[in-house]
């Protein structure tokens, strides 16, 4: 699937989910340490390619393991610092990482699919225009977040049947980030 009908330039922002998109998701658990963090194949190359196209790249991640007391905010920030450093070492960039530590039951505006992290990103980077933004994620929650904010949505990997059941939420479908990067 091609994104070539979109004219993406440095005015555009790429929003990325983390678990299942950038790194391997630990099913039934959380990535609590850097040693558990494993980049998915092609991700660092994809982000390097995105860095030459998008003006900003922002990671938005629900991390309710913090709210459950399974890891601290400082531990998650440390993982994100190392992730960002490794991406930079490979020639890419991450401009910001936003996290919602809230439990699902709290229904916080900061937790996807609510748009609190998008609004916070725009406050940090006033040049963000949601109609010139792409949200890439592997869950329906990511897609709803993107649509609610007015972004173009890209469903990465995940369950393809979700795309069939929710066509209004998903603009494009790719198996992984490198396939998306190669389509730009």
Catalytic residues, by residue number, are 17, 19
Residue with tokens 């996290």: 99
Strands laid side by side in the 56-62 sheet: 96-100, 56-62, 13-16, 133-137, 152-156, 172-174
* Residue pair 119/84 in contact by the 8 Å Cβ criterion: no
β-pair type (172-174, 56-62): unpaired
3-state SS string for 101-157: CCCHHHCCCCCCCCCHHHHHHHHHCCCCCHHHEEEEECCHHHHHHHHHHCCEEEEEC
Spatial CA neighbour of 78 closest among 111, 35, 43, 114: 35
Identify the DSSP state of 168: T
């Amino acid at each position: 699937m091609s994104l070539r009908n979109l004219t993406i330039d440095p005015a555009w922002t790429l929003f990325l989910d983390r678990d299942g998109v950038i790194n391997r998701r630990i099913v039934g658990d959380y990535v609590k340490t850097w040693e558990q963090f494993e980049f998915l194949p092609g991700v660092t190359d994809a982000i390097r390619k995105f860095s030459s196209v998008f003006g900003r790249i922002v990671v938005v991640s629900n991390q309710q393991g913090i709210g459950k007391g399974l890891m601290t905010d400082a531990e998650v920030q440390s993982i994100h610092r190392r992730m960002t450093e490794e991406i930079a070492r490979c020639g890419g960039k991450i401009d910001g990482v936003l996290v919602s530590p809230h439990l699902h039951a709290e229904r916080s505006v900061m937790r996807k699919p609510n748009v609190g992290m998008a609004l916070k990103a725009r406050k940090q980077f006033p040049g963000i225009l949601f109609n010139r933004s792409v949200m890439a994620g592997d869950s329906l929650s990511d897609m709803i977040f993107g649509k609610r904010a007015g972004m173009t949505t890209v469903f990465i990997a995940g369950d393809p049947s979700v795309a069939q059941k929710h066509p209004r939420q998903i603009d494009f479908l790719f198996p992984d980030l490198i396939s998306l990067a190669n389509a730009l």
